[in-house]
Structure 1
Amino acid sequence: MNRWLEEFLKYLEVEKNYSPQTLKAYKKDLEDFLNHYQALNIKDFKHLQPFHLRLYLANLKKTKKAPTTIARKVSALRSFFRFLSKKEVIPKNLILYLLTPRVLKRFPRVPTEEELNQMIEQVKEDSFLGLRNRTILELGYGCGLRVGELTNLTLNQLNLQLRFLRVIGKGNKERMIPFGKKAQQLLERYLREREKVLLNLGKNHEFVFINSKGDKLTDRGVRYILKTLGKSYGIEYLHPHTLRHSFATHLLNSGADLRAIQELLGHASLLTTEMYTKVSYEHLLKVYLKSHPRAKKE
C-alpha cells in the first residue's frame, strides 16, 4: 500500500507540478488513511470495501475533525483513488463512496488598496533584505503569484524590457503576467544587489529571490517575511495568498473582466475566479451604504 502512495506522490510532483507544501499535505492525509486500515490488518487495496470507507469517514467525525479538515482528507483520497483506478488497483466505483461533507464557504479577508499601497511604500529599501522584501510585495500583489510561483521564479522567466513574467503554475501550465513600471525599477535595483550578494558569497544560481545566505528563498521564508511585515504595518493576517486575493479583488473592483482575471491567476475554471465577485460585491455594498444619500443612516 505504501508503494502506491510513493508512486502517487511522485506523479503529483512530476506530472502535476505540485508544490512541496501541497505534497506534504497529501502525504500526511493519505498516511493517516493507510495507518487506519493497516491497524485493521488490511494490507492490500483489493481488500477495501465500501463499508471500510464509511467506517473511516465515521471515525473522522467521531474524533470531532472539522468539516474543512474532513473535506480536505476526502479530496486527497478521491485524487488517490482516481490514480489507483487508472492503474487498475481498485474498481472505479469505490470513489463514489467518498462523500465530501458540506463546508461553509469562508471568503478571503482582503486589505483595501490604500492599506496595501501604504504598507508597500513604507517598507524601507536601505538594505538588501529590505529591498528584497519590498520587491516580493510588489510582485506578489502586482502579479497575483502563488507563493510557489514566487519562490521558483528564475531569471530567464523575467522580461524586464517588455515588463512581463513567464510563470509556470499548477499542472505545468504556463502563463504570461505583465507588471508595472514600479515593479520594473525595483526588480532592476534588486537584481543588481542580488548579483553582488551572490558574488560575495561565491554562489551562482538562477532563482530570483534569495535569503541572507544566498540560497533560494523557501515558501516558509516568504510566509515568515509577510507575517512579520503585516504585524509591523497593521495587516496582521497578511500571508502570500492575501496578496493574490488582493490582486484579484482590486482588479475586479476597478472593472477588470473576470475572464482576464482568470487568465492572470492561472485558474483552470472560471468558477474558482468567481468567488471574488462575492468579495467585490461586499466592497461595493459598503461603499454604497457609506456614500449614497438615500442609503446613509440618519
Structure 2
Amino acid sequence: MNYSADSLPEIKLIPLNQEALHFTQLRETRRPPTDIRWVKVLEFLRSTNLAPNSRKMYERELKRFLIWSELHYHELRPRHFALYKEYLRDELRTDAGKPLSKSSINAGVAALKSFFKWMCYTYPDIIATNPTLGIKLEKVPLPPAQSLTTQQMEQVWSALELLGETKQRDTALVHILSHGLRAGEVVQLNVGSFDGKLLFLPDTKTNEPRLVPLRKESREVLAEYLQLRQQQGEVLNSLSPLMISHHASYKGERLSYHGIYFAVEKIGEIAHIENLHPHSFRHTYATDLLLWELCGFVRSSKKQAITKSFSQ
C-alpha cells in the first residue's frame, strides 16, 4: 500500500522538559506512600484497650505531631518534644482563634508519652530510651467540686418519675451510674454482666476487670427493667445489651455513649440541674465513699457537719 506525504499524520515534537513535566504531574496525582510512622501509631491504637473517645483523642494528637515533625522515631530527641510543646502553647490556635487551654496541651503531651512508652517497650531496636520522659505536663488548677448534693439527688429521682417511655431504663441507668461506673463502661455491659447482685466489668479504663456490688434497691430496679423488656417480647441472652436505645433510628440496639449523655442531660433539664452529665454521679459516689470513711473516724455528733461541708 502506497502512502503519500500528504496522507501521513503531522509529526509533533515534544521537548524533553515538557515530557518530564508530564511524568511529574502523573506522579503527583498518585496516592502518596503510607507514612511508616503512622503504621506504628495504628498498631499502638489496636494494642491498647482505649475507650472510643480516648482513642479518637490519641489518634488526633499523634497525627498532629507527625504533621509537625518529619523526623523518624529514632531521630527524635527530648529537645524536639520541648519545641513541640512550645508550638502547642504559643502557636497553635483553636477554630475560634484562641490559644489551646492547658488541659488541651496536656492531652497532646500525654498521648505522646503513652505512645513512646509503648514504642520503647515494643520496639527497643528503634527507640531504646523514651525521649518524652523529661517533658512535664502543664499545671492545671483543680476543678470545683462536681458532686451532687442530697437535694439535687432527690430532684433527680423525682425527675425520673416524670419520664415516659424511658422511665424504667433511665432509672436503672442512674442506679448503675450512682455506683461509680463511667459512661463508657455502662455501654459495654451485657445482660450476662449482671448476676442479680453484682455487675462484672471485663474492660475498664485501668485494663483490670472488676466486680461492682449493687445496693439492694438498685438490684431490684435493674431486675424489674430486664423483666419489663422480656414482657414486651424481647428475647434476652447473656450477650444482649444491658441498656438499650429508645431512639427511633436505633430502637432496641445497645445504648451508645452519646445516648447515655443525652438521657442524663434530659433528666437534668427536668430536675432543673445545670450541666448534669454521667460523670456527676461518679463524683458523687466518690464523695460519698470519702464521707463515710471520714465518718468512721469521727464522733456521730459531727457527722451532720461533715455531710453539710461535703454538700456545698
What TM-score does the superposition give when structure 2 sets the normalisation length? 0.73
Partner of 2:138: 101
Match of 1:90 in 2: 127
Contact 2:177/2:281 (CA < 8 Å) preserved in 1?
yes
**Please, which of 76, 79, 85 is the counterpart of residue 51 of structure 1?**
79
Q: 1:225 aligns with which of 250, 263, 280?
A: 263
Give 2:175's match in structure 1, choosing from 138, 151, 165. 138
Does residue 112 in structure 1 map to residue 159 in structure 2?
Answer: no
- Measured after TM superposition, the shift of residue 45 of structure 1 is 1.4
Amino acid paired to 2:38:
N
Runs of 4+ residues over 6 Å off in structure 1: none
Structure 1 stretches of 5 or more lacking a match?
Answer: 259-282, 291-298
Deviations 1:172-210 (A, max 9, x none): 31222221222122112210222355639x999521001
Secondary structure (helix, strand or coil) at the match of 2:166 reads: helix
Once the two structures are TM-superposed, the CA of residue 23 in structure 1 deviates from its matched residue by: 0.9
Contact 1:120 1:138 (C-alpha < 8 Å) held by counterparts:
no
CA separation of 1:2 and 1:207: change in aligned 2, threshold 3 A:
same
Task: Give the equivalent residue in structure 2 for 1:242.
Answer: 280
The answer for the alignment partner of 2:114 in structure 1 is 79
Structure 2 counterpart SS, 1:96: coil
In structure 2, the residue matched to 1:159 is 195
Aligned partner of residue 226 in structure 2, secondary structure: helix
2:116 aligns to what SS in structure 1? helix
Shift of 1:127: 4.3
Task: Single out whichever of 204-213 and 24-33 deviates more from structure 2.
Answer: 204-213
Correspondence for 2:230 among 170, 174, 195: 195
Equivalent position amino acid for 2:269 in 1: K
* 1:21 matched to 2:58: no
Unmatched runs of 5 consecutive residues or more in structure 2 = 1-36, 92-98, 297-304
Question: Does the aligned pair in 2 maintain the 1:166–1:176 contact within 8 Å?
Answer: yes
Deviations 1:31-77 (A, max 9, x none): 1111111xxxx152122233322221111111322111111211111
- Rg larger in structure: 2
Q: Using the alignment, how far apart are the partners of 2:295 and 2:306 within structure 1?
A: 16
CA contact (8 A) 2:148 2:284 kept: yes
Q: Secondary structure at the match of 1:144?
A: coil
Q: Distance in 2 between matches of 1:197 and 1:172?
A: 36
Q: Secondary structure at the match of 1:159?
A: coil
Q: Paired residue for 1:60?
A: 88
Instruction: Specify whether residues 179 and 117 from structure 1 end up closer, same or farther in structure 2 by C-alpha distance, changes over 3 A only.
Output: farther
CA deviation profile, 1:81-118 (whole Å, cap 9, x unmatched): 10111212223141234222222122441111232133
Give the whole-Å Cα distance in 2 for the aligned partners of 1:150 and 1:131.
16
* Aligned match of 1:254: 292
> One-letter code of the match for 1:192?
Q
Inter-partner Cα distance in structure 2 for 1:149 and 1:165 = 11
Tell me what 1:69 maps to.
Answer: 104
Of residues 261, 284, 289, the one that matches 2:306 is 284
1:2 has 2:38 as partner: yes
Q: Provide the rounded CA distance (Å) in 1 between the counterparts of 2:130 and 2:237.
A: 53
CA distance in 1, matches of 2:239, 2:232: 12
Identity of aligned residues (%): 26
**Secondary structure at 2:225's aligned position in 1?**
helix
Query: For structure 1, which segment, 42-51 or 214-223, has the greater mean C-alpha deviation from structure 2 after superposition?
Result: 42-51
Provide closer, same or farther for how the CA distance between residues 8 and 257 of structure 1 changes in structure 2, counting only shifts above 3 A: farther
Judged with a 3 Å threshold, the aligned counterparts in structure 2 of structure 1 residues 180 and 121 are, in CA distance, closer, same or farther, namely farther
Letter in 1 for 2:77: Q
